[in-house]
């Protein structure tokens, strides 16, 4: 059982993670819509993905945070200052006009994403240090639940509110929300870590040294493969639903609301399962779920699927994705060096982001060349490869100690 203090600590981290995600998800959803309404080209809208670049390159400044943090208070100062800047920038955007100040707005959003990425580095490092190995899966559940919940609210609920009350009224409320989500951390006195020793402080070269650890390339291969079998399907499921004749509203409900909600719930379930059966068994179990999801969509592509069958596939897809993220994040927390927690965890999450970007790009190309049958077959092959990789590369791992010994030796 998880006691009250741990529950409060977990809730604190959930608040920090959802505070990052909701504004990011809202901006990533509403800006393309507004750009299209102002007759921007599709190519220009496509380039908007570059605003997320700070989250891809955040490993470049993660050693700075590791180097200047030794106590819980240090981490809190980084989190508070980053979120304060985040909130101020969101509020500043509300004062501008989208038509006349577009490039200023874009610049402020990019800077705000740098602030939120910095908060994420400090939050992840504090999470690594604050929880025992047994409880790490639960804080990873909070991380994924914050991501799924933030996406659901930011790209769904706030988009509806945006149409009702407008840009200038919504964003100040969003800025206040970000600050309110800091209150649990401000009042939480139960998060305590062992202060770092001076010799444990990170250096700039630690980003490169991460890749020289014995056994780390096994983990890197795992990070690239584990849910690559889902990413292509996740990227193409909405276009597929369009081709099947579903409306934008129906697709939004099926994938954007129902699917994301299942991901939110499964992230919590995944943390509980890992806590119960351990990393090694969970790797295999969730990998089987991923394979099942890809096989399901491959089978559906040879039929004229009904709406209930599609809902079943979407639930399986998002459910297996939600659980898979917990295994990825939990094992990533196991593979951090003392004093470099933020750096090492950030590098590993960036690897998963890069893997996801590559798979999303490839999926469109493969679907164009071979159709949805070919795409779902390719995704199934990736899922099989991932399962075989786990069973062979990690075959000597017991669910208690192997990863720690490999990554910290």
Residues spanned by CATH 1.20.1250.20 within the chain? 1-204, 205-409
**Who's near 108: CB < 8 A, 6+ residues apart?**
89, 92, 93, 96
CATH architecture of 1-204: Up-down Bundle (1.20)
Which pTM value belongs to this model?
0.84
Given a cut of 50, whether residue 406 has pLDDT beyond it is no
pLDDT at 241: 87
- DSSP code for 194: P
Mean pLDDT of the region 125-151: 89
Count other C-beta atoms under 10 Å from residue 33's C-beta. 13
Distances (CA, A) of 336 to 113, 213, 223, 405: 24, 10, 14, 11
pLDDT at 187: 93
Q: Among 36-50, 354-368, 393-407, whose mean pLDDT is lowest? A: 393-407
Nearest to 27 by CA among 96, 93, 77, 97: 93
If one looks up domain 205-409 in CATH, what number appears? 1.20.1250.20
Q: Are 185 and 15 in contact (CB under 8 A)?
A: yes
- Helix locations, 38-101, DSSP H: 42-47, 53-56, 62-67, 72-94
- At 15, the pLDDT band (50, 70, 90 cuts) reads very high
| Bigger pLDDT: 313 vs 360 | 313
What is the rounded distance in angstroms from the CA atom of residue 234 to the CA atom of residue 314? Answer: 9
């Amino acid at each position: 059982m998880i006691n009250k203090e741990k529950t409060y600590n977990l809730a604190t981290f959930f608040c920090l993670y959802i505070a990052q995600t909701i504004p990011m998800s809202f901006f990533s959803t509403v800006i393309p819509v507004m750009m299209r309404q102002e007759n921007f080209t599709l190519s220009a809208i496509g380039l908007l993905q570059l605003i997320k670049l700070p989250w891809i390159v955040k490993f470049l400044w993660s050693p700075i945070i590791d180097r200047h943090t030794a106590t819980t208070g240090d981490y809190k100062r980084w989190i508070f200052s980053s979120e304060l800047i985040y909130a101020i920038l969101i509020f500043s955007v509300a004062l501008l006009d989208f038509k006349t100040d577009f490039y200023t707005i874009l610049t402020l959003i990019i800077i705000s994403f740098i602030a939120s990425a910095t908060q994420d580095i400090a939050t992840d490092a504090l999470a690594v240090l604050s929880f025992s190995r047994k409880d790490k899966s639960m804080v990873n559940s909070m991380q994924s639940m914050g991501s799924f919940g933030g996406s659901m609210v930011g790209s769904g609920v706030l988009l509806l509110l945006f149409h009702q009350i407008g840009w200038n009224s919504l964003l100040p409320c969003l800025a206040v929300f970000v600050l309110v989500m800091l209150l649990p951390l401000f009042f939480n006195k139960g998060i305590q870590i062992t202060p770092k020793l001076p010799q444990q402080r990170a250096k700039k070269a630690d980003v490169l040294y991460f890749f020289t650890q014995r056994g780390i390339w096994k983990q890197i291969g795992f990070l690239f493969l584990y849910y690559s079998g889902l990413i292509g399907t996740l990227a193409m499921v909405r276009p597929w639903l369009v081709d099947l004749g579903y409306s934008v509203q129906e697709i939004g409900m099926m994938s954007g609301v129902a699917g994301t909600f299942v991901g939110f719930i499964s992230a919590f379930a995944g943390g509980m399962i890992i806590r119960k059966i351990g990393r090694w068994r969970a790797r295999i179990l969730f990998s089987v779920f991923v394979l099942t999801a890809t096989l399901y969509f491959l089978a559906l592509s040879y039929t004229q699927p009904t709406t209930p069958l599609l809902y079943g596939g979407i639930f399986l897809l998002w459910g297996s994705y939600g659980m898979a993220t917990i295994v990825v994040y939990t094992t990533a927390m196991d593979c951090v060096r003392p004093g470099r927690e933020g750096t090492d965890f950030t590098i590993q999450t960036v690897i998963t982001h890069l893997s996801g970007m590559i798979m999303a790009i490839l999926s469109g190309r493969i679907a164009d060349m071979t159709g949805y049958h070919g795409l779902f077959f390719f995704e199934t092959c990736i899922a099989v490869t991932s399962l075989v990789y786990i069973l062979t590369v990690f075959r000597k791992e017991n669910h208690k100690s192997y990863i720690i010994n490999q990554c910290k030796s």
